[in-house]
Structure 1
């Protein structure tokens, strides 16, 4: 079911803050991940297929899948935090539903419940092959606002 707000863009100031933080993450750069959508309470991160992010059977590695999901949720929460704060993951759980195979994976973090201290996000990862999308992982995450 498509949410009418899922394509809404965050303000230019929030987008710049998210991009600056994302660009400082060594792991995301190492993996080759890129931000593709920054909206209020919703962030998409894509990871192109390359041998360095796969496991022995050629599927996207669960570690790479989980890492982009964690960052998508963290940045979704961060879009709703005040300017002079930061974000840290407190915990997350992810279920790997199917082997992730495709041209790329797309992690989507969506805020379920914003809070003054703790925020809860839904995590989804889709494998994309020639524009066909398949849900391959689903999870939930709790994040803390750091002043």
Structure 2
């Protein structure tokens, strides 16, 4: 991925109101891959202390969109077609880390796998895995028409 594309994606991420609310940070981004982390906030936790499933699902959705967009060489816009999350373990910890990887980069349909880890005492524990189908609606070029 070239630096111009990386900057476009990071600037777009910076404009996301949801990710701002979550206090999310991009840790790594490359072609077809992204890592996003969030520190636990009170609204993200269940009474028992683990991250709420809705927080995990939202993180999966955003990570999928950015992983899909990062696989394209031009500015592109995606929407979610299908999102399936398997919650494997309670997400106990101080932080979540989503790792999104494109596994099929088609002309219109892109499939992304996102694994979400809870981090406690600097140790990653797999909390959820997901498979997300994204559809490219347009590119920046086609939106100008």
Partner of 2:51: 60
From 72, 82, 90, give the equivalent of 1:91: 82
Partner of 1:131: 122
Gaps of 5+ in 2: 139-145
Displacement of 1:52 in angstroms is: 2.2
Partner of 1:44: 35
8 Å contact from structure 1 (residues 118, 144) kept in 2: yes
Counterparts of 1:72 and 1:36, CA distance in 2: 12
SS at match of 2:125: strand
Displacement of 1:107 in angstroms is: 0.6
Displacement of 1:99 in angstroms is: 0.7
TM-score, normalised with respect to structure 1: 0.88
Give the 4+ runs in structure 1 shifted more than 2 A.
none
From 135, 140, 143, give the equivalent of 2:131: 140
From 80, 92, 100, give the equivalent of 2:71: 80
8 Å contact from structure 1 (residues 73, 109) kept in 2: yes
Instruction: Please provide the CA RMSD for this pair.
Output: 1.2
From 23, 28, 38, give the equivalent of 2:19: 28
The count of aligned residue pairs is 138
Displacement of 1:85 in angstroms is: 2.3
Partner of 2:112: 121
Partner of 1:12: 3
Kindly provide the CA deviation profile for residues 24-58 of structure 1, in whole angstroms up to 9, marking residues without a partner as x: 21111111111111011110000112212111211
Displacement of 1:84 in angstroms is: 3.9
TM-score, normalised with respect to structure 2: 0.90
Counterparts of 2:127 and 2:35, CA distance in 1: 15
Gaps of 5+ in 1: 1-9
